[in-house]
Amino acid sequence: MRIDLAFDALLPHPVDAVWAAITSADGISGWLMTTTDFRPEVGARFRMRTQHLAPSGWVEAQVLELDPPRRMVWSWSARDAYPPTTVTFALAPEAGGTRLTLTHVGEIDPDIAAVMRSGWPGRIALIEEVAR
């Protein structure tokens, strides 16, 4: 099944605060899933602990693109039977804070797609809390 999700949110924090929340292991652990090995470097591979997305208990990811503090792209794999999907974070300053656009695209297990559709909005809301 193909997943083509796009979310847009205005977060009431400066770009640098939002960037820090999405590009540090502590920040990612606070709003998405626990990770200890994330590094904001192109090519860096990292794992995030999950209870719902992967039978192994881990989402395998890699930083594909990094353009601080505007854009970051990850590959994302929750199950070995499917190729990695792509998650893109784009930040832009806007009056009142930062415009975050998050996209998640690719071929994915239908069960995981359902979790992503319902889960990303809540995770984006948590970025606002972590960016404080």
**Residues 102, 87 contacting (CB under 8 angstroms):** yes
Query: Which of 47-51, 52-56, 69-73, 128-132 shows the lowest per-residue confidence on average (mean pLDDT)?
Result: 52-56
Asked if the model's pLDDT at residue 80 lies above 70, the reply is no
Per the structure, how many domains does the chain have? Answer: 1
The alpha carbon of residue 42 and the mean position of all alpha carbons in its chain are separated, in whole angstroms, by 15
pLDDT, tens only, 46-68: 999 987 666 678 899 999 999 99
Average pLDDT over residues 32-53: 92
pLDDT at 1: 85
Domain span at residue 90? 2-130
pTM above 0.75, yes or no: yes
> What is the spatial distance between Cα 34 and Cα 45, in angstroms, rounded to a whole number?
14
Percent of the chain with pLDDT over 90: 79
The CATH number covering residue 120 comes to 3.30.530.20
